[in-house]
Amino acid sequence: MTSRIGFSVSTIFIFSVFLVAACGSNAPAGHGAHAAPAAPYDAALDTLRMDGEVHLRNVKQLTFGGNNAEAYWSRDDDHLVFQSDWDRINGQGCDQIYVMDPDADLTGSPSDYTLVSTGIGRTTCSYFLPDGRILYGSTHEQNRACPEPVIFEQGRYVWPIYDTYDIFAASPDGSGTELLIGGPGYDAEATVSPNGRYIVFTSTRSGDLELWRYEISTGQLLQLTSELGYDGGAFFSPDSRQIVWRASRPTGVDADAYKGLLADGFVEPSDMNVFVADIDGSNVRQVTDLPGANWAPYFHPSGEDILFASNHHTQDMGGRVFNIFAIGVDGSNLRQITFSKTFDSFPMFSYDGTRLAFSSNRTASGEETRETNVFVAEWVE
């Protein structure tokens, strides 16, 4: 996973042990394509649901090995696109992009998953376009090799920012790959507005890791952020009027350290909070003010709450556990959504608002695993 920053899914477990690592979108609730099952709910059979997870029901595992993350819904809620280094489906070693049907009886067979990316280079952060094609970041055009992941630099846990990342689009079967957004420097972490008008992405084209907006019909670019620090993993609100993202705002010696790492092609994701703004970058508000890494934000279908991943509650344990939390857009009413004792992140609601896809290290037995898998659950208000 690169947690929306071109970093490998294979670092997720290490990231959860030390600090962190994240992308996104949303849309109006309501077409109701996936109604709740008629059969009575049996909590005893819901073995992947943890105690306290009152908003989740019928948790289903969709991948079964390796590291799989950032699963995002198609606009008809029939498919999920995700990135994976799972050797059963990906023998290349670097994260590649795949599509799967979350309603199928998935067993882990390679035939359950369709390769979207080219199978060369490293990829990150995929997302469905309105026309059914899929966006993703990839290094394949500038470097066919699988770049070695770097986890520590200058004694710090880091995400590498490969300047060979550009943003491509392809059909769900992997055909018709074309460059959409490119140029010198890092371009990745792209997501699409529900109204289909804009793409928001992270780029170093102005010298820092900033958010940029791309108008699909015209190709016009607008820089949305300008403060020193990493801005990334942005998603749109259901009404397409706001964006939510994660950001670091280093000052003093931390600012000097940030600049030094960035010059070497790295960022340290240990101190981040959640921000919102209007889609032209105005009216910026900080939503969370919590210690540790607060990231992977995503709007609730109501537009009034934000789900995000955080280790703020485990700082006394070294920040080794990440769970999904919810908070009001105004920063009020913080509450915990997931309760595994490992790693939960990358929440994304289906477009009809009835289901939540997320990534986790959880197992039915509760045993610790180094594998990160994709899960889907019915959402209960």
Give me the tens of pLDDT residue by residue for the chain, a chain 381 residues long. Answer: 444 444 455 554 445 444 334 453 333 333 344 545 557 899 999 999 999 999 999 999 999 999 999 999 999 999 999 999 999 999 998 999 999 999 999 999 999 999 999 999 999 999 999 999 999 999 999 999 998 777 877 778 888 999 999 999 999 999 999 999 999 999 999 999 999 999 999 999 999 999 999 999 999 999 999 999 999 999 999 999 999 999 999 999 999 999 999 999 999 988 999 999 999 999 999 999 999 999 999 999 999 999 999 999 999 988 999 999 999 999 999 999 999 999 999 999 999 999 999 999 999 988 888 899 999 999 999
Phi, psi (deg, nearest 5) at residue 11: -90, 0
Residue 224 lies in a domain: yes
CATH number of residue 347's parent domain: 2.120.10.30
Output the pLDDT for position 30.
37
The model's pTM: 0.91
How many domains in the chain?
Answer: 1
| Domain encompassing residue 242 | 9-379
Residue 258 lies in a domain: yes
Q: How far apart are CA 238 and CA 226, in angstroms?
A: 25
Q: Which of 74, 71, 69, 59 has the alpha carbon at shortest distance from 27? A: 74
Q: Which residues pair with 375 in a beta bridge?
A: 61, 358
Task: Answer whether residue 4 is part of any domain.
Answer: no
- Could you tell me how far CA 285 lies from the centroid of its own chain? 21
Using CA atoms, how far apart are residues 16 and 130, in angstroms rounded to an integer?
33
Query: What's phi and psi for 194, nearest 5 deg?
Result: -55, -30
Amino acid symbol at 134: I
Domain contains 1: no
Q: Among all chains, which residue has been given the structure tokens 């600090």?
A: 19
pLDDT value, residue 353: 97
Residues 6+ apart with CB under 8 A from 39: none
Of the candidates 249, 250, 246, 267, the one whose C-alpha atom is nearest the C-alpha of residue 322 is: 246
Is residue 341 in some structural domain? yes
Measured CA to CA in angstroms, residue 4 lies from 57, 190, 201, 263 at distances of 27, 8, 9, 19
Contact 86, 71 (CB under 8 A): no
DSSP of 194-224: TTSSEEEEEE-TTSS-EEEEEETTT--EEE-
3 in any annotated domain: no
CB of 159 within 8 A of CB of 152? no
CA 97-300-215 angle, 5° bins: 60
What's residue 3's pLDDT?
A: 47
Q: Which two tokens stand for residue 184?
A: 């010198």
Render 24-67 in DSSP notation, one character per residue. -----S----SPPPSSPP-GGG-TTSPTT-TTEEEEEE---SSB
In a domain, 284, yes or no: yes
Q: In this predicted structure, what is the pLDDT of residue 18?
A: 41
- Give a yes or no: residue 359 inside a domain: yes
